Amino acid sequence: MGSRNIVSIAGVLVMVLISTTWGNAQITAPGAAFTEQTQYPVFQQTDNIYIFCADEGMNAGSLTVQTNLEGGKTFEWQKYNGQTAEFEFYFSENSSGNQSTITGLEDGCYRVTVKVGAESETYQAWVMNDWFSVTGSVGESNCEYFELNGSFTSARLVYYDLADNSEIQVSKDIRVKWEKGNEIVSLVNSPQITPPPPEDTDYKYTVFDRFGCESSVTVTYNSIVTEAGFTIDADFNGAGGGSGEAPLEVTFMNTSKNGDADGYEWFFFKDLDEIKKESENSDQPIDSIMDVAYNENPVYTYENTGTYMVKLASKKVSEFHTCTDTFYLEDYIIVDSSFVIAPNVFTPNGDGINDYFIIKFWSMQQIKISLFNRWGKTVHVWEKSNIRRFEGSMEESVWDGKIGGRYASPGVYYYIAEGLGRDGEKRWAHGFFHVFRAKK
């Protein structure tokens, strides 16, 4: 009789023996990550396969048999030899206890026979040490993208049909992922990342399978790109809400990432209407740039009214590449058109309430206010030139209501406002107002 036939007969005998003692003995593997059953093509019995997550070259497997047999016992462990297709002695111990444990097990099928006198019971299970060895690196890196390269080797999990010793491979369903923090960025080994982040960034490469075994490596991308950005600060307290009065001083605060200190270039565009007019009158490309600045956080003063756009270009120079990025202000900077507003009543009586004739004017370069009584006689003149921005207000007191040191008589008075706005337009306004002398 051939050795392979002997193995088949032995397997059948073991199957019969185990099936008759199932309720008395059991093998467990508390440290296993996963458990499933064999699918022998020929052998009629089903055994447990215990999967242990381990490092490469390490044997993490362990098995424990428990029995209800009473008295002094012999626990005899055997290991299946896939080369000879036979179970061979592995370990034996005598004990009055109800369990026996073996640890540090390499891959294979382990059988244990528990004997008490003439009584015995047998059970068996497979142990497999599952591992991954992973490596990761950064490949091609330029201004548009960079590559992550991941690779791995893995434990090959196999068992044998105990009837004919045929090899059966266990499917692991291996998968991979690249993560940036808690974000999964790719599910392939070697992805291309677009766009590259503007800061050094760690990427975690993980290989895992359906048993929950995994291994990871962290790869650092050293950024060679920049991301342009800025915010603005200006006095937008005027009539336009999000606009300001000319001359409007704007502070530009650079929020760019990973740019070179000397690599910032600011482009201040002309007024949008001016650009449109120049375009309509020419069939050639026009120069739409009003000014250029190179400092990191410029302060720019818009002298005239208009609608303005700003662009920042940021540059990062590395050994093999010069990468740039641009950022446009999301909304236009609006410098309001000029205007003048005068009140229609004031009460100069020294009570601290509405004691002054206050005008409001906006984006004016120069202005003159003349006040008259009802007979056309000039009672007061106020004027101002080279007007800059007001400090916290667009209002100014023009008249305290006095003529020659004495309060003017109540009645109707008239004003004429004339001047030049920072939009280049002459501004003129006129009207009347009432002076009341209410008691304090």
What does the DSSP 8-state code read for residue 4? H
Amino acid at 79: K
Would you call the peptide bond into 196 cis, given omega within 30 degrees of 0 as the criterion? no
At residue 438, the pLDDT reads 63
User: Taking the CB of residue 374, how many other CB atoms lie within 10 A of it?
Assistant: 10
Is 440 a residue whose pLDDT tops 70?
no
Check for a shared fold between 134-154+172-221 and 230-335: yes
Q: Inform me whether the pLDDT recorded for 196 exceeds 60.
A: yes
User: Of the ranges 206-220, 230-244, 321-335, which one carries the lowest mean pLDDT score?
Assistant: 230-244
- The pLDDT score that the predictor gives to residue 19 is 34
Can you tell me which residue has the tokens 């382990």?
110
- Residue 34: CB atoms within 10 A of its CB come to 16
Identify the CATH number of the domain defined by range 3-130.
2.60.40.10
Q: What is the DSSP letter of 209?
A: -
Give me the mean pLDDT over the 12-37 stretch. Answer: 64
Q: Is 187 exposed, middle or buried (0-12, 13-18, 19+ CB in 10 A)?
A: exposed
Among 32-36, 194-198, 257-261, 360-364, the minimum mean pLDDT is found in 360-364
Q: Are 232 and 252 in contact (CB under 8 A)?
A: yes
Separation between Cα atoms, residue 238 and residue 125, nearest integer Å: 83
- pLDDT, mean of residues 242-262: 89
Return the higher-pLDDT residue of 379 and 277: 379
Does residue 241 surpass a pLDDT of 70? no
pLDDT number for residue 121: 94
Report the distance separating Cα 318 and Cα 391, nearest Å: 46
- Mean predicted lDDT score pLDDT of the chain: 88
Under the banding of pLDDT at 50, 70 and 90, the label for residue 423 is: confident
pLDDT-based confidence at residue 439 (cuts at 50, 70, 90): low
Q: Residue 17: what pLDDT?
A: 36
CATH label, 134-154+172-221, candidates 2.60.40.10, 3.10.129.10, 2.60.40.740, 3.30.43.10 = 2.60.40.10
Range 339-435: architecture per CATH:
Sandwich (2.60)
pLDDT at 24 over 90: no
Query: Tokens in use for 62?
Result: 């362990």
pLDDT for residue 253:
95
Predicted local confidence at residue 4, as pLDDT: 37
| pLDDT tens-place string over residues 348-362 | 888 888 889 988 877
* pLDDT for the residue 244: 77
What percentage of the chain carries pLDDT values higher than 70? Answer: 90
Q: In this predicted structure, what is the pLDDT of residue 25?
A: 52
Report helix, strand or coil for 15. Answer: helix
Confidence of residue 394 (pLDDT cuts 50, 70, 90): low
How far is residue 344's CA from residue 346's CA, in Å, rounded to a whole number? 7
Paired with 360 in beta bridges are 341, 395
Spans of all domains in the chain? 3-130, 134-154+172-221, 230-335, 339-435
Contact of 125 with 78, CB cutoff 8 Å: no
Residue type, 118: A
Q: Which CATH architecture fits 230-335?
A: Sandwich (2.60)
Nearest to 123 by CA among 104, 100, 146: 100
Single-letter code of the amino acid located at 156: R
- For the cut 80, the answer to whether the pLDDT of residue 337 exceeds it is no
